[in-house]
Structure 1
Amino acid sequence: MPYTGHVTPGGPADVRELPDLVVSKLSVGPMDNNVYLLRCRATGAQLLIDAAAEPEALIGLIGASGLAAVVTTHAHRDHWQALADVVRATGARTHAGRLDAPALPVPTDVLVDDGDEIAFGACRLTARHLTGHTPGSVALRYDDPEGHPHLFTGDCLFPGGIGNTRNDPAAFASLLHDVETKLFAPLPDETWVYPGHGADTTLGAERPALPAWRERGW
């Protein structure tokens, strides 16, 4: 079946087959959190983005291949409630943005800064630090060698707008600036966006709305 990016809590994962990477998207928990399991085709090494909830489901998704790393996009509780259980079961190394890591329930093995690379097998992600939703949120960029880039944006970018900045004008300005300069400016319209909740989108689908987002202030 073709990948759609539409998943529901309790439902199956939606799987996207890229030349060098397999992306499995699963929805878990009462807040419909998206979890992404990335598997390197060349080596079988796997990386999990946001161990949000339902550790049994996540461990089942990971399977017998094991887990090299888990990356937490930001420190909000709904994105890490299964983190301790997943790390205990798999021994995965933990990664998180430097400024958000102290709020997580397990020690962070690798503190992530803007531009850092996270390798698993032959695949690599590049972290972009985006400030506003939380101080240390990170988005993760995968450059498909045979196609367009892919972005895992946590709660910083969704279809229809940037993440919640709690009616704080300074936080909104910061997040919109970072999303515009670090994601929209350098990347093409075809860039696929995998958010922390809900459906996927592309930068091209969202780019025309940037002035409206700025005007409305959220």
Structure 2
Amino acid sequence: MLVLGFPVGPLQANCYVLARGEGEPCVVVDPGQDAVAPLDEQLRKHRLAPAAVLLTHGHFDHVLSAGEVCAAHDVPAYVHPADRFMLDDPGAALGPAGRQLFGDGPVMDAPADVRDLADGDVLELAGLRFDVTHTPGHTGGSVLFGVGTDEGGQLLLSGDTLFAGAIGRTDLPGGDHGQMLESLSTKVLPLDDEIVVLPGHGPTTTIGRERAGNPFLQGLPASDAIS
């Protein structure tokens, strides 16, 4: 399995490309601000053809290039309906301070074909299976994407729900700290320690490492199973 990740834009959001191997169809996850050029470079280098764009949530640093990528390759974008409005108005979740920083907000063309994600969905794309888990907190429509590797391992594309040593902020419009704690307790902590986490910002980690050392997870009760 081929997994590529690279930070894009001023906020250094991680964009990921997953495929069964070189020369295969692929899935692009979170093509954010200024993602087109580095993404095209990876697609050419590994001879990959996008089959879909997956969005962990609607914040502009994760979605701003989605429309351009979808149009260039004639593929759909998948996002939770609670965050879909941000594809039409990327500045909607910036809050007053962000509006002052960015003026009217960043501008993007929304993908022509946008498909809804729901908790428990299973997406079969580019020969890969993506399990969708809704984790509101950072935004109302934040999701995790779980995917198995050919070697038997498990990956978790966590967006801005979980980082190495941190969690996503909850003080922007649509954020809810109580929901975030509930999502972490019921959707993240029950996961196996060996799962490799590919976060929306920063370095790769594992569930076990975060369970042991992430200060935001300490003291949270873990459900016996994902609800």
- TM-score bracket for the superposition, by shorter chain length: 0.7 to 0.9
Alignment correspondent of 2:72:
89
For residues 167-202 of structure 1, give each alpha carbon's deviation from its aligned partner in whole angstroms, at most 9, with x where no partner exists. Answer: 89x8222112212211221x2111100111111111
Alignment correspondent of 2:42:
61
1:127–1:23 CA distance, 2 compared to 1 (3 A): same
Equivalent of 1:171 in 148, 170, 176: 176
Alignment correspondent of 1:131:
136
Q: Please give the secondary structure, in 1, of the residue aligned with 2:176.
A: helix
Cα separation, 1, equivalents of 2:67 and 2:216? 40
Equivalent of 2:60 in 71, 77, 85: 77
Equivalent of 2:85 in 102, 118, 127: 102
1:56–1:42 CA distance, 2 compared to 1 (3 A): closer
Cα separation, 2, equivalents of 1:212 and 1:58? 32
**Shift, 1:156, TM fit:** 0.5
TM-score, normalised with respect to structure 1: 0.80
Alignment of 1:1-150 (within 5 A): 21-41=1-21, 44-54=24-34, 55-63=36-44, 64-104=47-87, 105-144=110-149, 146-150=151-155
Which consecutive unaligned segments of at least 5 residues does structure 2 have? 88-109, 221-227
Q: What is the CA RMSD across the aligned residues, in angstroms?
A: 2.4
Q: Is the 8 A contact 1:42 1:122 kept in 2?
A: no
Cα separation, 2, equivalents of 1:167 and 1:93? 27
For residues 83-105 of structure 1, give each alpha carbon's deviation from its aligned partner in whole angstroms, at most 9, with x where no partner exists. Answer: 12111211121111121112213
**Shift, 1:143, TM fit:** 2.2
Equivalent of 1:201 in 166, 188, 205: 205
TM-score, normalised with respect to structure 2: 0.77
Which consecutive unaligned segments of at least 5 residues does structure 1 have? 1-20
Q: Please give the secondary structure, in 2, of the residue aligned with 1:165.
A: coil
For residues 68-91 of structure 1, give each alpha carbon's deviation from its aligned partner in whole angstroms, at most 9, with x where no partner exists. Answer: 000111111111111121112111
Counting matched residue pairs gives 194
Moved segments of 4+, more than 4 Å: 209-216
Q: Is the 8 A contact 2:76 2:112 kept in 1?
A: no
Q: Is the 8 A contact 1:131 1:178 kept in 2?
A: yes
Identity of matched residues, %: 31
